[in-house]
Amino acid sequence: MAFRNSEGLKMKANPRDVRTGTYYMDGDIAAGYGALAAGCRFIGGYPITPSTEAAESFARIAPQSGAVFVQMEDELASVASIMGASWSGVKTMTITSGPGYSLMMEAIGLGAMMEAPFVILNIQRGGPSTGVPTKTGQADMMQSRWGSHGDYEVIAISPDSPQELFDFMIKAFNLAEKYRCPVMVMSDECVGHMSEKVVVPPAEEIELEPRRIYTGPKEEYLPFKPDQDLVPKMVKAGDGYNLYVSGASHDERGYPIIYQKGKNQSDSTARRLVDKIRLNADKIIELHEEKLDDAEVVVVSYGITSRVAVRGIELARKKGIKVGKLRLVTVWPFPDQRISELAAKVKAFVVPEINYGQVVYDVERCSHGEANVVLVPHGGAGVHDPEDILEAIEYAATEKKKIRKVIIRKTRLEKKVFGGGLK
Amino acid sequence: MESKEMAEKNVLPKDVPTMDVHPMDDVLRMDRIPHIWCPGCGIGTAVTAFAEGLKKAEIDLQKTCIVSGIGCTGRVAGYVKLDSFHTTHGRGIAFATGIQVANPDLKVIVFSGDGDIMSIGGNHFIHAARRNVNMLVICVNNFIYAMTGGQVAPTTPHAAYATTSPFGAVEPPFNIPYIADSSGAVYVARWTVLQVRRLTDSIAEALKKPGFSVIEVISPCAMYYSRINRLGDGLDMMKFYHDNTEIRHGEDTKNLDIGFQTKIIVGKFVDRERPTYMDSYNKWLSGTVKD
Amino acid sequence: MNPIITAFANGIKKSGIELSKVVVVSDIPFDPEIIKELGIDFFHTTRGRAIAFGTGLKLGNPELKVVAFIGDLMTIGGNHLVHSGRRNMEMLVICVNNFVYKEIAGTPSPSVTTGFSAFSTFEKPFNAPHLANSCGAVFTARWTALHTNDLTNSIAYALPKPGFSVIEVLSPGPNFYQDINKIESELLNFYFQNSITKNKEDTRNVEITADEKIITGEFTDKKKTTFIDSYNAQLGKILGDKFIPLGGQNE
């Protein structure tokens, strides 16, 4: 009974949805199990390597819980259908990878404007365009934040193991219901196709965020009137509330502001969509920090790279370098404040990414020139070697000058394949 | 000499002509052979028929382009020695329209699979047919999304199994010749990869015909469709086609549905004339724009 | 638009369907006051995606009756139309055809020459009932905006009918015309005068061309298993007791 509680009361997962047990499974399949455990009742999807297994695993276990998986004709239809399902009262998500993610951008803007809660699982792959479909990449990070046109904010979380793919699906649905914004789970092919131990806990231990339902009198309902935390209460279609939900900029009744005669037509909708996340950022942002107390160099990473970084940090500590780890569990909204604080204390940040520089520019922005920022790029189709991160940490620890731009330390593979250049 | 001795000495009998090059060398990219398709796949046969059809039609190969999408059949462009384009998923027909309209001398062929052309590319398909853009679309139908691992396709027969329909396909499948016919294609045919010679003739005929032509080629998928549905391997599927196809030229396209392991009707169904897109365009503009 | 909305409202009343369960999805921005008077839920989506959006609404809550008012059915929405017809997704699609967006316009008719662009399209237009029929729609019809009674009856019949139904309504769009009031009502009248009703006509023959009369009427009316029924039947057969059918559960 996902939607009968009013706000503030957490609820437990339905035991029918949760396949309790200990498994050895792929990340993708764990994501399918996690989605059902979170209460997802509709997935409109389209097959794309490397994310198809998530859709397949959901299709196998969904009918026994009354959930539906429909393979739509393309990604455009998939994402449009989950908006509709969201407004008809169910938790929904879709599953895709790079090329499909680009197709979904228009509808993500629509979902942000309509404040429909939904989750998109993006198992990133080599890009751009068709790229390398069967190998890993992390090059969609900026697109998840800025992909659609206009002003809006999203939440993006990045898991680093199949167990986390299961847990983060639940976390993503909870965030989506709480903030009514698009939530992107930015995984990658390495984690998606990795097989590891996944423990699915019993249903009583899984806490779900219920949808915030309006329970007052019908005539007084204003679909877009926000609560204290700037998130409005929701209802579902077909209950006699006479909804008007539009992708156009609207007022509290949902009516497009072009219909307001004589009023000042400044767009206040986008302001609230943006503030909703920015002002609640401290409650949303989650970071994993290790060994930061005496650190002189901080390795900022996310996703699979953070696991490689752990080894790199270990090797560096053995050599006596004081290095700490900052893992971005939530990549968006970006932890501006924490990075700024650290920038005042440490010498440098090392940012390994499986792309040619995306999140590193936000790190540089927030460091305000007080610490060096070193990027370790990787072209994709594989992950970093811990030695590459070690080399970058060593450089960062010994560099005395303040260099006012992102310093690129190439991996040994890059140097071997491309030689010099790329500075 | 005895044939056994000849085989040992690696010598051919005198009256067998020898060639230094393979007869398909000028149409296939030999440096990319061996190809990636599975044993028991019908796409290779379709490509051979296509190569033979190209030669039979005697069109200028320098002025021919082939466009493919994503998928197993989408790899065809990489193995054929024409100007090849391997585009994004489903957009092959739109891409080909651009080539054709910008340079009407080029003959464009779109060679792609059922998921690529009918699912995500469905919109482009019906609009190009309506406009009667001058191109040949060869749609290899193996009833499944093979490249991504065997998901259900809009052509998968009802109740057949696939990875995303683990309890049987729920939706009724498309009837590709019917859609092509209703949208306005001028030449519509369907063959299986068993009928290679008829397929070759069909391709040769369609290549010379101006307008939007569609040839559906039914092919086995030994790795996914046949395996998941316990239909045997490629050879078993070919035997099935042998026993269960019926050639009916000119049949009304409404009756061409394909169910799970039912009779398949093949043949040439539609062959008509319509002004092509560029003809209408030129005629209209010369009528309205006075110079 | 207004005669269409009146016909729609009367159609809902006549069909006896509970008003609160009717949901309209559209890419045409309706005036909110009209929606308030109609008393239904309304979703305004991006161009052409109303059918996909409606699919999600219907499958999320199978009790809803989804109506997609779509202007851009056959261009951006073409793929969704074709596949939803194939699935026989239960919804009613009302295509408001105003001949302006180029897919539909034919040659300009002789009596309305002012205001049309000189480069009117040369492309052959889509025959909407025929396209819908070949994609598997169970009910297709075409009326002009002035055929209010017929339109009401068609909507009243199609709304409770299970399956994918398409009603095309010819109505002038005010965009390109100079003297809106005069030409709009003149065009409305023109469509009405030049139409001839032929029910049960084969959809292949109902193309709109410049020289002949526009053929209106209810063309297709057949029965086909809907997506939800097919889904429940197929999965019930395989899974037996473990399966929870769509439309029965309350989650």
- Asked if A49 and A188 touch (Cβ cutoff 8 Å), the reply is no
Q: Look up tokens 């809803």; give the residue.
A: C64
Q: What is the mean pLDDT of residues A173-202?
A: 95
CATH class of C2-242: alpha beta
Please state, in angstroms and rounded to a whole number, the distance separating the CA atoms of residues B152 and A46.
10
Which chains have at least 3 CB atom pairs separated by less than 8 Å from chain B? A, C
**Residue in chain B lying closest to A129 (CA):** B88
Say yes or no: A243 and A191 in one domain: yes
Count the neighbouring beta carbons within 10 Å of the beta carbon of residue B229: 20
Which chains have at least 3 CB atom pairs separated by less than 8 Å from chain A? B, C
- Asked if C41 and C66 touch (Cβ cutoff 8 Å), the reply is no
- Asked if A364 and A373 touch (Cβ cutoff 8 Å), the reply is yes
Residue A281's pLDDT band, with cuts at 50, 70 and 90, is very high
Is the pLDDT score of C4 beyond 50? Answer: yes
CA A70-A127-A31 angle, to 5 degrees, is 40
Mutate to test the interface with A, among B86, B164, B165 (most CBs of A within 10 A): B164
In angstroms, what separates the C-alpha of A308 from chain C's closest C-alpha? 40
Query: What's B63's DSSP letter?
Result: G
Is the pLDDT score of B272 beyond 50? Answer: yes
Q: What is the mean pLDDT of residues B32-39?
A: 90
Mutate to test the interface with C, among A90, A244, A251, A261 (most CBs of C within 10 A): A244
State phi, psi for A359 to the nearest 5 degrees.
-70, -25
Residue C97's pLDDT band, with cuts at 50, 70 and 90, is confident
Q: What is the pLDDT of residue C178?
A: 36
Q: Determine, yes or no, domain membership for A423.
A: no
Residue A267's pLDDT band, with cuts at 50, 70 and 90, is low
Tell which wins on pLDDT, C100 or C169: C169
Q: What is the pLDDT of residue A262?
A: 56
Count the neighbouring beta carbons within 10 Å of the beta carbon of residue A204: 11
Which residues between 169 and 228 in chain C have a beta carbon less than 8 angstroms from any beta carbon of chain B?
204, 227
Is the pLDDT score of C92 beyond 50? Answer: yes
- What end-to-end distance do the CA atoms of chain A give, in Å? 56
Say yes or no: A274 and A400 in one domain: no
Nearest by CB: A59 against B86, B119, B165: B165
Put simply, the answer to whether C124 touches B130 (Cβ < 8 Å) is yes
Q: Mind listing the pLDDT tens digit for each residue in C146-187?
A: 888 999 999 999 999 999 999 998 877 544 333 445 556 666
Q: Mind listing the pLDDT tens digit for each residue in B108-134?
A: 999 999 999 999 999 999 999 988 999
Put simply, the answer to whether A56 touches B166 (Cβ < 8 Å) is yes
Distances, alpha carbon C251 to alpha carbons A1, A4, A41, A115, in Å: 5, 9, 8, 21
Residue C48's pLDDT band, with cuts at 50, 70 and 90, is confident
Q: Determine, yes or no, domain membership for A65.
A: yes
In angstroms, what separates the C-alpha of A64 from chain C's closest C-alpha? 5
**Residue in chain A lying closest to C44 (CA):** A246
Q: Look up tokens 């005036």; give the residue.
A: C31
Strands C139-144 vs C214-221: parallel, antiparallel or unpaired: antiparallel
Nearest by CB: C35 against A83, A87, A244: A244
- Asked if A62 and A88 touch (Cβ cutoff 8 Å), the reply is no
Residue C32's pLDDT band, with cuts at 50, 70 and 90, is confident
**ipTM, interface predicted TM-score of the complex:** 0.85
Instruction: Assess B119–C contact: CB distance below 8 Å, yes or no.
Output: yes
Is the pLDDT score of C134 beyond 90? Answer: no
Q: Between B and C, how many residue pairs show a Cβ–Cβ distance under 8 A? A: 76
Q: What is the pLDDT of residue A127?
A: 81
Residue at which a domain ends, from A242, A267, A284: A284
Q: Mind listing the pLDDT tens digit for each residue in C193-235?
A: 778 888 888 888 887 776 678 888 999 899 999 999 999 999 9
Residue A150, sorted as left (phi over 0), alpha (psi -120 to 50) or beta, turns out to be: left
Contact list in C for residue A238 (CB cut-off 8 A) is 20-21, 23, 41, 61, 63-64
Count the neighbouring beta carbons within 10 Å of the beta carbon of residue C242: 12
- Asked if A189 and A162 touch (Cβ cutoff 8 Å), the reply is no
Nearest by CB: B148 against A48, A69, A129: A48
Please state, in angstroms and rounded to a whole number, the distance separating the CA atoms of residues C89 and B176.
20
The strand order across the sheet containing A297-301 reads A287-290, A323-328, A297-301, A348-352, A372-376, A406-408
Please state, in angstroms and rounded to a whole number, the distance separating the CA atoms of residues B49 and B100.
24
**Residue in chain A lying closest to C86 (CA):** A73
Written as one letter, the residue type at A170 is: I
Query: What's A45's DSSP letter?
Result: E
Mutate to test the interface with A, among C17, C33, C59 (most CBs of A within 10 A): C59
Q: What is the mean pLDDT of chain A?
A: 90
Instruction: Assess B84–C contact: CB distance below 8 Å, yes or no.
Output: no
Strands A348-352 vs A372-376: parallel, antiparallel or unpaired: parallel
Q: DSSP letters of A164-179?
A: HHHHHHHHHHHHHHHH
**Residue in chain A lying closest to B152 (CA):** A71
Put simply, the answer to whether A71 touches B86 (Cβ < 8 Å) is no
Say yes or no: A345 and A362 in one domain: yes
And the tokens for C5? 């909305």
Contact list in A for residue B151 (CB cut-off 8 A) is 47, 52, 55-56, 71
Q: What share of chain B is helix, strand, coil (3-state, %, to 5)?
A: 40, 20, 45
Residue A83's pLDDT band, with cuts at 50, 70 and 90, is very high
Which of these, A196, A235, A4, A290, lies nearest to A115 by C-alpha position? A235
In angstroms, what separates the C-alpha of C127 from chain A's closest C-alpha? 22
Tell which wins on pLDDT, A268 or A392: A392
Q: Is this structure's pTM higher than 0.80?
A: yes
Residue C114's pLDDT band, with cuts at 50, 70 and 90, is very low
Q: Determine, yes or no, domain membership for A204.
A: yes
Contact list in B for residue A73 (CB cut-off 8 A) is 119-120, 122, 154
Contact list in B for residue A45 (CB cut-off 8 A) is 164
Q: Determine, yes or no, domain membership for A379.
A: yes
And the tokens for A32? 């399918």
Q: Mind listing the pLDDT tens digit for each residue in A314-360?
A: 999 999 999 999 999 999 999 999 999 999 999 999 999 999 999 99
Residue at which a domain ends, from A268, A284, A300: A284
Q: DSSP letters of chain C?
A: -HHHHHHHHHHHHHHT--GGGEEEEESS---HHHHHHHT-EEEE-STT-HHHHHHHHHHH-TT-EEEEEESSTTTTTHHHHHHHHHHT-SEEEEEEE-S-STTT--SPPTT--TTS-TT---SPPP-HHHHHHHTT-SEEEEEETT-HHHHHHHHHHHTTSSSEEEEEEE---SSS-SSHHHHHHHHHHHHHHTEEE-TT--GGG----SSSPEEEEEEEE-----HHHHHHHHHHHHHGGG---TTT---
Q: What is the mean pLDDT of residues A235-262?
A: 81
Q: Which helix (H) or strand (E) holds A24?
A: strand A21-26
Put simply, the answer to whether B170 touches C231 (Cβ < 8 Å) is yes
Count the neighbouring beta carbons within 10 Å of the beta carbon of residue B16: 6
Please state, in angstroms and rounded to a whole number, the distance separating the CA atoms of residues B197 and B25.
20
Say yes or no: A353 and A256 in one domain: no
Please state, in angstroms and rounded to a whole number, the distance separating the CA atoms of residues B250 and B271.
9
Instruction: For chain B, give the percent of residues with pLDDT over 90.
Output: 78
Please state, in angstroms and rounded to a whole number, the distance separating the CA atoms of residues B25 and B43.
18
- Specify the 3-state DSSP secondary structure of B2: coil
Count the neighbouring beta carbons within 10 Å of the beta carbon of residue C161: 17
Read off the CATH number of the domain in which A399 is found. 3.40.50.920
And the tokens for B29? 């990219």
Q: What is the pLDDT of residue A167?
A: 95
Is the pLDDT score of A308 beyond 70? Answer: yes
Nearest by CB: C242 against A64, A74, A114: A64
| CB burial of residue A248 (10 Å; 0-12, 13-18, 19+) | middle
**Residue in chain C lying closest to A78 (CA):** C52
Put simply, the answer to whether A237 touches C52 (Cβ < 8 Å) is no
- CA torsion sign for A125, A126, A128, A129 is negative
Query: What's B32's DSSP letter?
Result: G
Put simply, the answer to whether B174 touches C238 (Cβ < 8 Å) is no
Is the pLDDT score of B95 beyond 90? Answer: yes
Q: What is the mean pLDDT of chain C?
A: 80
Count the neighbouring beta carbons within 10 Å of the beta carbon of residue C78: 24
Q: Mind listing the pLDDT tens digit for each residue in A84-126?
A: 999 999 999 999 999 999 999 999 999 999 999 999 999 999 8
Written as one letter, the residue type at C194 is: N
> Which of A18-32, A217-231, A287-301 is predicted least confidently?
A217-231
> Which residues, 6+ apart, have CB-to-CB distance to B207 below 8 Å?
B53, B54, B57, B59, B107, B109, B136
Mutate to test the interface with B, among C59, C72, C82, C102 (most CBs of B within 10 A): C82
**Residue in chain B lying closest to C235 (CA):** B167
Query: What's B51's DSSP letter?
Result: H
Residue C1's pLDDT band, with cuts at 50, 70 and 90, is low
Q: What is the pLDDT of residue C182?
A: 54
Q: What is the pLDDT of residue C136?
A: 87
Put simply, the answer to whether C61 touches A238 (Cβ < 8 Å) is yes
Residue C99's pLDDT band, with cuts at 50, 70 and 90, is low
Q: For A322-342, b where at least 16 C-beta lie within 10 A, e where not — what string? A: bbbbbbbbbbbbbbeebbeeb
Which of these, A91, A280, A234, A100, lies nearest to A176 by C-alpha position? A91
Tell which wins on pLDDT, B231 or C116: B231
Domain count for chain A, please give it: 2
- Specify the 3-state DSSP secondary structure of A8: coil
Q: What is the pLDDT of residue A422?
A: 46
Provide the residue range defining the domain that includes A323.
Answer: 287-418
Q: Between A and C, how many residue pairs show a Cβ–Cβ distance under 8 A? A: 162
**Domains of chain B (ranges, CATH numbers):** 26-288 (3.40.50.970)
Put simply, the answer to whether B151 touches A48 (Cβ < 8 Å) is no
Q: DSSP letters of C56-67?
A: HHHHH-TT-EEE
Put simply, the answer to whether C231 touches B131 (Cβ < 8 Å) is no
Read off the CATH number of the domain in which A32 is found. 3.40.50.970
> Which of A36-45, A239-248, B185-194, C190-199 is predicted least confidently?
C190-199
Say yes or no: A310 and A187 in one domain: no
Can you give the residue ranges of every domain in chain C? Answer: 2-242
Say yes or no: A271 and A355 in one domain: no
Pure H helices in chain B: 3-9, 43-57, 92-102, 114, 122-131, 176-183, 196-208, 225-228, 234-244, 277-288
Say yes or no: A269 and A365 in one domain: no
Instruction: For chain B, give the percent of residues with pLDDT over 70.
Output: 96
**Residue in chain A lying closest to C20 (CA):** A240
Nearest by CB: C44 against A2, A74, A248: A248
Residue at which a domain ends, from A234, A261, A284: A284
- Specify the 3-state DSSP secondary structure of B253: helix
Put simply, the answer to whether B88 touches A46 (Cβ < 8 Å) is no
> Which residues, 6+ apart, have CB-to-CB distance to A243 below 8 Å?
A87, A223, A235, A237, A254, C41, C42, C43
Going through A215-357 in order, the beta strands assigned E by DSSP cover 244-246, 287-290, 297-301, 323-328, 330-332, 348-352
Please state, in angstroms and rounded to a whole number, the distance separating the CA atoms of residues B220 and B233.
8
Q: What is the pLDDT of residue C101?
A: 46
Q: What is the mean pLDDT of residues B33-62?
A: 92
Say yes or no: A235 and A331 in one domain: no
Instruction: Assess B32–C contact: CB distance below 8 Å, yes or no.
Output: no
Written as one letter, the residue type at C158 is: A
Say yes or no: A279 and A292 in one domain: no
Distances, alpha carbon B48 to alpha carbons B28, B75, B76, in Å: 9, 14, 11
